[in-house]
Amino acid sequence: MSAFCAGVRVQGSRPLGSTGLTRRARSGLSHRRRSSLRCCLPEESSAVLEVVIRAAEDAASHMMNRVGAEVEKTKINSRDLLTEVDPECQEIIEKHMRSEFPDHGILGEETTPSGRENSVNALERALKEEWLWIVDPIDGTTNFVHSQPMSAVSIGVTYKGELVLGVIVDPYRSETFAAMKGQGTTLNGEPVTVSNEQTAEEALVAAGSPTATDSLHAVIRGLAVMMPEVRSMRMLGSAAVMYGWVACGRLTAYWEPDLHSWDSAAGAILVTEAGGRITDLHGNDYTVRTRSLLASNLWTHEPLRALLLRAEVHNL
């Protein structure tokens, strides 16, 4: 029987997401390295993080009150859904930002025209802002429409083009993931770290279920190659949730052939600050411009990336 049932911790078991390694060994950052990174952050970073958390939690609360909302329209195809709640949640986040930091910029999914090229161009324009909030107000809209409890609010923030903090709120489980550069990742205020699987054979891996046809075919190729080589695969329908679960050790890794910046910015810093690794499928370190990606617990990264390259997941 599993040590965890309905979120209740059983005596003698480790907290959910714990790997049993020492904090320093798992974190991937020494105390000296964390101190060095912390002093490079703008003074207002902690205040920004507090406001981002409040904004994300308020938007998530509104989302929970509207679960199962009807589809207002589709975007690039019938798999890419929009409800009236998506822009409502984005507006809640924007109000928090404008109230506390009126000089900050925002890049939101619901105010960006659909399509890969539009997304890339909008990001390039937005990165001219000194501070930029990159927002997905409901990550996992299809799950939300079908009342499946697997959606989240995702906000990543850049400073002078560099990702410095991220927040993901999963209202179904009352979980707030937060990270700031050099300070680790927390879940509801408690430090979390990635899992300690050492090989691909031990790995529990998640993949996306993309809306674009070329990305969908790439995922099918990747699944065909990877599934026989790993412990098991999952497709949860929310990039934000899967990032959070990699960061706290519930998943070993998560990959996608093509993601928008608002799908990945918050999750990327959660994973790296929890001691994991995130790169594109060629092995280049993640930036907010990265679209094909693999996020992992570090140890399994290269074996899993090799499988994705064999499947030509990177060739869209």
Q: Do the domain assignments include residue 12?
A: no
pLDDT band at 28 (very low <50, low <70, confident <90, very high): very low
Residue-level pLDDT at 214: 82
How long a stretch of residues is the chain?
316
Q: Do the domain assignments include residue 33?
A: no
Last residue of a domain, one of 132, 163, 192: 192
Is there a binding annotation on residue 138? yes
pLDDT band at 14 (very low <50, low <70, confident <90, very high): very low
- Do 178 and 211 sit in the same domain of this protein? no
Residue-level pLDDT at 33: 45
Q: Do the domain assignments include residue 235?
A: yes
Q: Which domain holds residue 270?
A: 200-310
Is there a binding annotation on residue 136? yes
- Looking at every residue in the chain, the average pLDDT score rounds to 85
Model confidence at 81: pLDDT above 80: no
pLDDT band at 39 (very low <50, low <70, confident <90, very high): low
pLDDT band at 115 (very low <50, low <70, confident <90, very high): confident
Q: Do the domain assignments include residue 264?
A: yes
CATH number for the domain including 204? 3.40.190.80
- Total domains, the chain: 2
Model confidence at 22: pLDDT above 90: no
- Do 59 and 183 sit in the same domain of this protein? yes
What's the angle, vertex CA 175, arms to CA 181 and CA 160, rounded to 5?
25
CATH number for the domain including 96? 3.30.540.10
- Do 214 and 188 sit in the same domain of this protein? no
34-48, 72-86, 144-158, 162-176: range with lowest mean pLDDT: 72-86
Residue-level pLDDT at 316: 56
Pick 115 or 191 by higher pLDDT: 191
Q: Do the domain assignments include residue 18?
A: no
pLDDT band at 66 (very low <50, low <70, confident <90, very high): confident
- Do 45 and 147 sit in the same domain of this protein? yes
Cα dist. 109→54, 55, 125, 195, 201 in Å?
A: 19, 16, 14, 31, 36
Own/partner contacts of 5-14, CB < 8 Å, gap of 24 or more, are: 7/173
Q: What is the mean pLDDT of residues 257-262?
A: 94
Q: What is the mean pLDDT of residues 116-129?
A: 93
Residue-level pLDDT at 40: 73
Model confidence at 197: pLDDT above 70: yes
Residue-level pLDDT at 16: 35
Residue-level pLDDT at 87: 87
Taking the CA atoms of residue 16, residue 306, residue 134 and residue 115 in that order, the dihedral angle to the nearest 10 degrees is -130
Q: Do the domain assignments include residue 227?
A: yes
Model confidence at 110: pLDDT above 80: no
Last residue of a domain, one of 192, 215, 249: 192
Model confidence at 35: pLDDT above 70: no
Is there a binding annotation on residue 93? no
